[in-house]
Each structure stands twice: as C-alpha cells, then as structure tokens.
Structure 1
Amino acid sequence: MSEQPDPSCPFCAIASSYAPYPPTSPPPATSPHLSPTVTSPQTHLILSTPHVVSFLDILPLAPAHLLLCPRAHRPKLTDVAGDEAAEMGRYLPVLSRAVVEVLGEGTDWNVVQNNGVGAGQVVGHVHFHVIPRRSASSGEGWGGSGSEGEGRFAKSFAMFGKGAREELDDDEGREMAARLREAVAEVLRRDNSKL
C-alpha cells in the first residue's frame, strides 16, 4: 500500500495540510493547527489525528454534515490499513455523539460510505459521511424528509439525501467546526472518565 499522497486528491491535500492535535484538547480557532501548512481546499477541520482527519462537507446536505477519512490515500474501503480502520471505527461514534450534542436531541443521522464511481463516490479517497437528519415528526427537513411523498421510493430519497446542495458558508462553517471540535473533546473526556 502506498503511503504517498495523490497530488490530484483534495482529501490528500487536506490531510497533508493539517498537523495532528490531541482530540481532547482542540486548538482554538486562531491556532496554527487550524491554518493549513500548504495550500489546500477550504477546510473546516473537526478532528486531526495521526491516522484520520474529519472536516465539514463543503456541499452539506444538512448542518454539521461532516466527513471522516484516513490521512493516507486509500481509494476504497478495501484499501484501508487495519490501524486506519480501527481509528475510523473509534471516531465514527464519537463524531456521531458530537453532532447530536451540537444539534440537539431529536437529531437522527446517516453514516454513509461509498466505494467507486458507480456507488456514488465523488472523491476517490475513502471517506465516511455523517449526515444529520431531523425526524419527520420534528417538522424540520434537513437534507430531505420522508414527508415528501409516500411509499418506499420517497423514503429512499430521504435516506440518500437527494436534492439541492449549496456550498458551505465560510463563517457558518468556522463556527460549526469550532462547536464540533469542542463537542468531540467533551465526548472523549466523558468516555475516558468512564474507563
């Protein structure tokens, strides 16, 4: 497995632009940890460890829609090394709890991971989406709701988030990322206190 970043991959650019930091002590918004070391796509960083990075999706389906990926370039899930898979598995529930803490009770979410263009993978670097949703009974329709029509097809559209996506506002992204970094730290501190 190659450890070399793919120069054409935006997720490799993000991963190589941000140094790891302890997730229980997130850097403040003005920290150099949140300033890219090289040119990278606009990024609102949430988590940066030696093996994985998490950041807000630039075309979110809902507020706090985030991505989690390995630092190393891995095109598909079958290419991921064991230590990377373990760390992604460790942080998916942490990120999920952080999203619920930031958005509040009543937040549901999808965890989606696509492999290959035919499966809807747009960036050829393995990544998980954590996509917050509101239940149909909440009256809010983040990323599509089951109330738009009846039957199984309407529900599948809600599940996979069909619909218009707008680019993430930079100020909103900065604020949301800061809230999520703090929530991740709090979730980890609570989890560690239970051990």
Structure 2
Amino acid sequence: MTKAELIDDCLFCKIIRGEIPSYTVFENDDVKAFLDISQVNEGHVLMVPKKHLTNFFDYSAEDASRFMQCVPEIAKAIKASDPRIQAMNITSNNGEIAGQVVMHSHIHFIPRWEGDGIKFFTRNNADQYDEKKYQEVCDRIKAQF
C-alpha cells in the first residue's frame, strides 16, 4: 500500500504513517497490528489495513484477501504470548450504529480466559421467526449476490 491511499485526518492513517506512536506487534505491506490503547483484556490488539477503508462495506475482494489472510497468524501469536489465553473474541464494528468509533476499518483481537469478567451481550429472537419469515430474510439477502 502507498501513503497516497491514506487520509490526513484519520487517527489510524496517522498511526500507519508513524505520526502517532503505537505498540506495533505485526506489520507487513498490507496491514499493521498494534495494541489497542483501551486494553479490554491484556493483549488486546487492533489490526488495520494500510489502505484507508472506512469499514467492510468499502472492501473489494482483493482488499479482503490481502487484509483477512493475516487474521489467523495474528490471533495465534497473541494466544501464544500468554498462557492465560484460552479463547479470543475477533470482532469488527462496521458503522457508527454498530459501535465503530474510528472510521478506518479495523479488527479487534480480544484475548479471553475463564473469569476475565468480560460480558458480550446478544439476544435470541428465534421465537419471533417461523419457517416463512426465515425464508423471506434468506431470499432477500440471496437476491443481492
């Protein structure tokens, strides 16, 4: 990636350019991975593409291939770094309503271990769906391919 593919006022573009310091754990031509300043759990890492992409809705197939291929390697390195790590949340918030704060695509690697106190909440709405409703939703999405 080239510096021309970055933008001036983006926090993560500034980190990629070295204008803001980071604790970089991995870097190649396509991605940079560094410690998240919040450290939800010790070893919390962010992986960002070195091309400014707002979120996954902006990705081409080539962007995804170049960026996503690094996920397993980074996850394995984080897990191997601390014997407490038993699992990991690998997440991305895409868009402000989904909780994205920095509008430069990024993936969170949040190490997890028994008793770490982190709670991720979801809800189960299965009781609001029947076969017809599931099929309607499925067909609506399938039609977009």
Establish whether TM, by shorter chain, passes 0.5: yes
Identity %: 29
Residue in 2 that maps onto 1:135: 114
Consecutive unaligned residues of structure 2, counting only runs of 5 or more, are 122-145
AA aligned opposite 1:126: S
Secondary structure in 2 matching 1:86: helix
Structure 1 residue aligned with 2:12: 11
Question: Equivalent residue for 2:49?
Answer: 70
Compare CA radii of gyration and give the structure with the larger one.
Answer: 2
CA deviations 1:114-163 (Å, max 9, x no partner) are: 11110000000000000001124xxxx1xx34xxxxxxxxxxxx126xxx
CA RMSD of aligned residues (A): 1.7
TM-score, with structure 1 as normaliser: 0.56
Alignment length (residue pairs): 118
Partner Cα separation in structure 1 for residue 28 and residue 53 of structure 2: 16
Alignment correspondent of 2:63? 84
Task: Say which structure is richer in helix.
Answer: 1
The alpha carbon displacement at 1:106 in A equals 4.8
Structure 2 length normalisation: TM-score? 0.74
The residue identity in structure 1 corresponding to 2:17 is: S
Query: Distance between the aligned counterparts of 1:15 and 1:106, measured in 2?
Result: 28
Unaligned runs of 5+ in 1: 18-38, 146-157, 161-195
Corresponding residue number in structure 1 for 2:76: 97
Give the secondary-structure state (helix, strand or coil) at the position aligned to 1:6. Answer: coil
Post-superposition Cα deviations, 1:25-74, rounded to whole Å, max 9, x if no partner, equal xxxxxxxxxxxxxx21x300111111111111011101110011110110
